[in-house]
């Protein structure tokens, strides 16, 4: 009898765990003019496989009882290590043919955060953002000083040319050629996605804690130490257990001005909106102002969603209802936009 | 009869104009442990005179029909040029005995913004923030790249030692000595205001447009390229004509994590609160989380207010009801905190 009760109790614990474990994760690998006709089947499969790999690794960690902070860190690290996305390996080139990377991370329970801008030799900028959050009294570090801090934390450092990829170098050359013809806005002509590359993850764990992580190589041909929205907490990355966690990707300048990630959470918190509808509203308003891009969102109930006003967004999500991996806008998103 | 109606109508137009022209400006020169017993009468008079000078210059510009953007730029430039405040001339020292300055500016009508971090040779960082907003397609620039952009804009450049002042160097020495005894938090022991120095201004002009500007020398003994809340749009500086304009000063890391400036405006916009009560709420919540500091606010109706959870805040405001210049907490503020 005792054994039976134990078995039932274990079984219930299992089912409670399963319910408590309504964990979930959403990731993105950038939004932009992602044209189906410009992508081979093989390219599409490669992107889908990389997205599935990142979302599955994050989900498995959550399902095993891991924290949302660890899950978003892991998923973003996987995307940083893939040359397909503009973050870590695969980062775009600056005007000076180097790479300058930005990243941010935030945890919803105490709204602790870490952010880094313009580092050139840190293999995984998201790990530096996390070290800043956990091992320093600061939130944001920049440039050489941030690299010194990374070294003090024994993070893996690489030569800047680790980030080199041929196809990003070609994109830089096209951007520079176009810019010589049209001083302003020329990079847009050369590459409609020039400002669009970012990777990110948001997750909820079995304790209900939310977390968000975002990483980017920035903008092709960027100059003057330009910093985008990623390390600006509230713009491209935000997490607050009383509302939601958001990671954004798009035209960073608009994301900063419109405080996109925090504004989505403010509408959830102060207007009682669902995270999905708040995200749609803010991304629609962004487009009206001239800004393109998208966000991934998880709310405190574990609802996973995304919104974007571009042709596509590399994206995936997984919870106990299954896995979704998508690149192009679906009919649902087209109807919404 | 027609003439009488015309006269009445002109008279009403006049009174409408007068009402529309309820321009106003609020400025601050930092919040912190400002102890009356530690300040001589002469020091107090010097601070009050500098605050009055900045607020009057800003107000006179507004009263003459100038824009809020010009008024906050002018007021912050005056405060940057004074050695009394931790911004521009008078900026604190980094660990390496240099100066690294941050600034941000934003205009409420189209939420355009400019921000700069970690510049070492720009005499008035607020003018660089404004040039970034108006003359570049970016919002945020950092470090050497930002300095190159400043040079391209013919802004006045100075040697880093232009920012030297004896009393800030003494503060650095005390911070370093204390840090050698107590590796963490030591700078707090050496100088309770080590993270507190900032200057800022918010204003409303005769068209109803809001603007906010903030500038700082950062934190005494800062290392690793630390960036505070000032250039993080939404944290230490924000302006949106649909709600309010805010400039903050205090423990920057908390201002970033709590998205202080934008959160005040979100409560006005989404909860219908007055800017004054939204500011009080957010500053109270900040203190509960462990963060100290204050904000100045102007809302879209032209109401000027401030809130702080410290012993004092250098502050002044002026509208058609008169001028107020204060340093220490008054009974009203003590009752509120």
Domains of chain A: 23-336 (3.60.20.30)
Task: Return the pLDDT at A7.
Answer: 38
Going by pLDDT thresholds of 50, 70 and 90, the confidence category of residue A152 is very high
Lowest mean pLDDT among A154-168, A252-266, B25-39, B267-281: B25-39
Residues of A in contact with B223 (CB under 8 A): 145, 148-149
- The residue of chain B with its CA nearest to that of A184 is B137
The nearest CA of chain A is from the CA of B137 a distance in Å of 8
Residues of B in contact with A233 (CB under 8 A): 232, 235, 256-257, 259
Q: For residue A295, what are the β-bridge partners?
A: A248, A307
The owner of tokens 């800017």 is B275
- Alpha helix segments (H runs only) across chain A: 2-20, 41-63, 68-81, 125-135, 143-152, 166-181, 186-190, 252-257, 260-271, 275-289, 331-336
Quick check: B203 and B58 in contact, CB under 8 A?
yes
Cβ within 8 Å, pair A227-B267: no
Q: Average pLDDT, stretch A230-234? A: 97
Q: Is the pLDDT of residue A286 over 90?
A: yes
Quick check: B314 and B85 in contact, CB under 8 A?
yes
Task: Return the pLDDT at A2.
Answer: 41
Q: Which of A10-14, A304-308, B18-22 has the highest mean pLDDT?
A: A304-308
Task: Return the pLDDT at B194.
Answer: 53
Sequential DSSP letters for A12-29: HHHHHHHHHT--EEEEEE
Task: Return the pLDDT at A325.
Answer: 98
Backbone angles phi, psi at B300, to 5 degrees: -70, -10
A288, with CB counted inside 10 A (0-12, 13-18, 19+), is exposed
d(CA B223, CA B219): 9
Quick check: B66 and B232 in contact, CB under 8 A?
no
pLDDT tens-digit map of B118-145: 999 999 999 999 999 999 999 999 999 9
Residues of B in contact with A138 (CB under 8 A): 224, 226, 253
Going by pLDDT thresholds of 50, 70 and 90, the confidence category of residue B186 is very low
Q: Average pLDDT, stretch A234-248? A: 98
- CA neighbours within 13 Å on the CB side: how many for A201? 33
Task: Return the pLDDT at A332.
Answer: 64
pLDDT tens-digit map of A36-58: 888 899 999 999 999 999 999 99
Q: For residue A202, what are the β-bridge partners?
A: A26, A212
Going by pLDDT thresholds of 50, 70 and 90, the confidence category of residue A9 is very low
Residues in CB range of A101: below 8 A, 6 or more apart = A87, A88, A91, A116, A118, A119, A120, A122, A125, A163, A215, A216, A217, A218
For chain B, how far is it from start to end, CA to CA, in angstroms?
58
| pTM for the whole structure | 0.91
Between positions 241 and 280 of B, the ones with CB within 8 A of A are 252-253, 256-259, 262-263, 266-267, 270-271
Q: Does A238 touch chain B (CB under 8 A)?
A: yes
Cβ within 8 Å, pair A233-B235: yes
Q: Average pLDDT, stretch B140-152? A: 96
The owner of tokens 């990829």 is A165
Task: Return the pLDDT at B9.
Answer: 38
Backbone angles phi, psi at A92, to 5 degrees: -70, 170
d(CA B116, CA B147): 9
Higher-pLDDT residue of A329, B6: A329
Q: How far is CA A253 from CA A229, A286, A287, B8, B246, in A?
A: 7, 11, 13, 48, 20
Task: Return the pLDDT at B195.
Answer: 54
Quick check: B94 and A145 in contact, CB under 8 A?
no
Lowest mean pLDDT among A94-98, A105-109, A314-318, B30-34: B30-34
Residues in CB range of B243: below 8 A, 6 or more apart = B265, B266, B268, B269, B275, B299, B300
Tell me what the pLDDT averaged over chain B comes to.
Answer: 89
d(CA B282, CA B243): 15
Pick from A115, A224, A262: which is nearest to B262 by CB?
A262
Cβ within 8 Å, pair B263-A262: yes
Sequential DSSP letters for B165-226: -HHHHHHHHHHHHHHHHSTTTHHHHH-TTTTT--EEEEEE-TT--EEEEEEE---TTB-TTE
Task: Return the pLDDT at A176.
Answer: 85
Q: Is the pLDDT of residue B291 over 70?
A: yes
Quick check: B126 and B247 in contact, CB under 8 A?
no
d(CA B267, CA B279): 9
Backbone angles phi, psi at B134, to 5 degrees: -95, -25
Cβ within 8 Å, pair A140-B228: yes
As a whole number of angstroms, the longest Cα–Cα distance in chain B is 85
Q: Is the pLDDT of residue B265 over 80?
A: yes
Which of A329, A319, A328, A325 is closest to A298 using CA atoms? Answer: A319
Going by pLDDT thresholds of 50, 70 and 90, the confidence category of residue A218 is confident
Q: Average pLDDT, stretch B23-47? A: 91
| Active-site annotation holds for B198 | yes
Quick check: A231 and A103 in contact, CB under 8 A?
yes
pLDDT tens-digit map of A255-268: 999 999 999 999 99
Q: Does B85 touch chain A (CB under 8 A)?
A: no
Tell me what the pLDDT averaged over chain A comes to.
Answer: 89
Quick check: B226 and B260 in contact, CB under 8 A?
no
Pick from B117, B140, B259: which is nearest to A256 by CB?
B140
Pick from A136, A256, A271: which is nearest to B139 by CB?
A256
Lowest mean pLDDT among B159-163, B176-180, B262-266, B273-277: B176-180
- The residue of chain A with its CA nearest to that of B225 is A145
pLDDT tens-digit map of A165-217: 998 999 899 888 887 765 444 444 445 555 567 999 999 999 999 999 999 99
Residues of A in contact with B248 (CB under 8 A): none
Cβ within 8 Å, pair A139-B257: yes
Task: Return the pLDDT at B197.
Answer: 79
Q: Average pLDDT, stretch A82-90? A: 95
Q: Is the pLDDT of residue B334 over 80?
A: no
Point out the catalytic residue in the list A73, A120, A198, A214.
Answer: A198
pLDDT tens-digit map of B217-228: 988 888 889 999
Q: Is the pLDDT of residue B196 over 80?
A: no
Instruction: Look at strands B226-227 and A140-142 and give their pairing.
Output: antiparallel
d(CA B241, CA B108): 5
Sheet holding A237-239, edge to edge: A237-239, A244-250, A293-299, A304-308
Going by pLDDT thresholds of 50, 70 and 90, the confidence category of residue A291 is very high
The nearest CA of chain A is from the CA of B318 a distance in Å of 28
Cβ within 8 Å, pair A142-B118: yes
Q: Average pLDDT, stretch A133-145? A: 95
d(CA B197, CA B93): 12
The nearest CA of chain B is from the CA of A146 a distance in Å of 5
Pick from B137, B259, B270: which is nearest to A262 by CB?
B259
Q: Does A167 touch chain B (CB under 8 A)?
A: no
pLDDT tens-digit map of B207-249: 999 999 999 998 888 888 999 999 999 999 999 999 999 999 9
d(CA B200, CA B305): 13
Residues of B in contact with A235 (CB under 8 A): 233-234
Q: Does A143 touch chain B (CB under 8 A)?
A: yes
Q: How far is CA B93 from CA A139, A218, A287, B172, in A?
A: 19, 30, 42, 6
- Alpha helix segments (H runs only) across chain B: 2-20, 41-63, 68-81, 125-135, 143-152, 166-181, 186-190, 252-257, 260-271, 275-289, 331-336
pLDDT tens-digit map of B37-80: 888 999 999 999 999 999 999 999 999 999 999 999 999 999 99
The nearest CA of chain A is from the CA of B229 a distance in Å of 9
Instruction: Look at strands B210-216 and A24-32 and give their pairing.
Output: unpaired
Residues of B in contact with A142 (CB under 8 A): 117-118, 142-143, 225, 227
Cβ within 8 Å, pair A232-B227: no
Cβ within 8 Å, pair B145-A224: yes
Q: Does A225 touch chain B (CB under 8 A)?
A: yes
Sheet holding B210-216, edge to edge: A226-227, B140-142, B112-119, B101-107, B210-216, B199-204, B24-32, B312-319, B322-328
Point out the catalytic residue in the list B107, B198, B214, B292.
Answer: B198
Give percent above pLDDT 90 in chain A: 78
Cβ within 8 Å, pair A232-B232: yes
d(CA A326, CA B221): 48
Cβ within 8 Å, pair B266-A270: yes
Give percent above pLDDT 90 in chain B: 78
Q: Does B173 touch chain A (CB under 8 A)?
A: no
Residues of A in contact with B235 (CB under 8 A): 233-234
Q: Does A228 touch chain B (CB under 8 A)?
A: yes
Quick check: A249 and A293 in contact, CB under 8 A?
yes
Q: Average pLDDT, stretch B253-266? A: 98
The nearest CA of chain B is from the CA of A270 a distance in Å of 6
d(CA B282, CA B129): 26
Task: Tell me the Cα Rg of chain B.
Answer: 20
Give percent above pLDDT 70 in chain A: 87
């Amino acid at each position: 009898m005792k054994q039976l009760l134990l078995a039932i109790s274990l079984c219930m614990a299992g089912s409670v765990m399963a319910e408590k474990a309504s964990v979930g994760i959403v990731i993105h690998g950038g939004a932009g003019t992602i044209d189906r006709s410009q992508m081979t089947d093989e390219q599409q499969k490669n992107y889908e496989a990389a997205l599935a790999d990142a979302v599955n690794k994050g989900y498995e960690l959550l399902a095993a009882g891991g924290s949302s902070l660890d899950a978003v860190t892991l998923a973003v690290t996987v995307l940083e290590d893939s040359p397909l996305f503009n973050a870590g390996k695969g980062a775009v080139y600056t005007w000076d043919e180097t790479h300058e990377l930005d990243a941010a991370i935030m945890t919803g329970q105490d709204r602790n955060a870490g952010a880094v801008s313009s580092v050139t030799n840190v293999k995984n900028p998201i790990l530096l953002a996390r070290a800043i959050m956990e091992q320093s009294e600061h939130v944001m570090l920049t440039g050489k000083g941030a690299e010194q801090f990374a070294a003090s934390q024994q993070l893996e450092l690489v030569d800047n040319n680790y980030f080199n990829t041929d196809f990003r170098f070609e994109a830089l050359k096209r951007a520079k050629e176009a810019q010589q013809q049209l001083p302003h806005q020329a990079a847009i002509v050369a590459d409609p996605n020039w400002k669009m590359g970012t990777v990110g993850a948001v997750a909820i764990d079995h304790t209900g804690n939310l977390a968000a992580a975002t990483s980017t190589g920035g903008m092709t041909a960027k100059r003057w130490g330009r910093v985008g929205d990623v390390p600006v907490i509230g713009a491209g990355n935000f997490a607050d257990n009383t509302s939601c966690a958001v990671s954004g990707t798009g035209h960073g300048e608009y994301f900063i001005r419109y405080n996109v990630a925090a504004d989505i959470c403010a509408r959830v918190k102060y207007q009682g909106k669902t995270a999905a509808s708040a995200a749609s509203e803010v991304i629609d308003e962004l487009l009206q102002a001239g800004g393109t891009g998208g966000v991934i969102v998880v709310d405190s109930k574990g609802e996973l969603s995304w919104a974007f006003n571009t042709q596509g967004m590399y994206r995936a999500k997984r919870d106990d209802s299954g896995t979704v991996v998508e690149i192009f806008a679906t009919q649902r998103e087209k109807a919404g936009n």
